[in-house]
Amino acid sequence: MLYSEKVMEHFTNPRNVGEIPDADGVGEVGNAKCGDIMKMYLKIDNGIVTDCKFKTFGCGAAIATSSAATEMIKGQPIETVMKLTNKAVIDSLDGLPAQKLHCSVLAEQAVKAALSDYYTKNGIDPAPILGEIGECAHCAQ
């Protein structure tokens, strides 16, 4: 298996690791049985994701995709963050090995789960906005 240099770089120096104690939205996806858990914390001011941190239990790709996703959404308006796709995460990392694609799905879902929590906390039903977040195909098996 071959990781791109970008993946290794994010793995070696992951960005935005940690927790935000007063986060406006927190999302956790994956499960320990499959070997991947991602937890994403968002700070949201005036519709902008001003800060973002993550904690991940998982393989090199899981850590790299979490790190890349936080970089991609930090400073962005919610409307943009909402549209983050796993494909964009993969592209930002110069690709992922085939058996690691599910890690990028988890990163997308972690961000959406955190947004969902933000909406719920603000009394807004997230379902019509974010759609079904669903389980990663890998974990659902």
Partner 1 sequence: MKQIYADNAATTFVTDEILGAMMPFLTGRFGNPSSIYRLGMDALRGVEHARKQCADAIGAKPNEIYFTSGGSEADNWAIKETARRLKNESGKNHIITTNFEHHAVLHTCQALEREGFDVTYLPVDERGLITAAQVEAALTDKTAIVSIMYANNEIGTLLPIAEIGEICRNRNNKVIFHTDAVQAVGNIHIDVKSQNIDMMSVSGHKIHAPKGIGFLYCKNGINLRNFIHGGGQERGKRAGTENTAGIAALGLAMEIATRDIQAKAEKVAKMRDRLISELSKIPASCVNGDLKNRLPGNVNLSFIGVEGESLLLNMDLKGISASSGSACTSGSLDPSHVLLALGLPHEIAHGSCRITINEYNTDEEIDIIIKEVPEIISKIRSMSPLWEDFVNGKDNAQRFFKWLSPIK
Give least dist CB 23 to partner 1, A.
Answer: 14
59 is catalytic: no
Q: How far is the CB of 66 from partner 1 (least distance, A)?
A: 9
Q: Is 103 designated active site? A: yes
Nearer to partner 1, 62 or 78 (CB): 62
**Binding residues for partner 1 (CB under 8 A):** 1, 8, 11-12, 14, 17-18, 28, 32-39, 54-63, 99-100, 138, 141
Q: Between 85 and 99, name the residue whose CB sits nearer to partner 1.
A: 99
For partner 1, the closer of residues 68 and 78 by Cβ is 68
Of these residues, 34, 52, 59, 139, which one is catalytic?
A: 34
User: For the residues of the chain, what is the DSSP string, one character each?
Assistant: ----HHHHHHHHS-SSBS--TT-SEEEEEEETTTTEEEEEEEEEETTEEEEEEEEEES-HHHHHHHHHHHHHHTT-BHHHHHT--HHHHHHHTT---GGGHHHHHHHHHHHHHHHHHHHHHTT--SHHHH------HHHH-
Q: State which residue, 64 or 78, has the beta carbon closest to partner 1.
A: 64
Which of 52, 59, 103, 139 does the annotation list as catalytic?
103
Question: Nearest approach, Cβ of 20 to partner 1 (angstroms)?
Answer: 14
Length of the chain counted residue by residue: 141
Edge to edge, what strands does the sheet with 36-45 contain? 25-31, 36-45, 48-57
Quote the least distance from Cβ 28 to partner 1, whole Å. 6
Q: Give residue for tokens 């990028």.
A: 104
Catalytic residue IDs: 34, 103
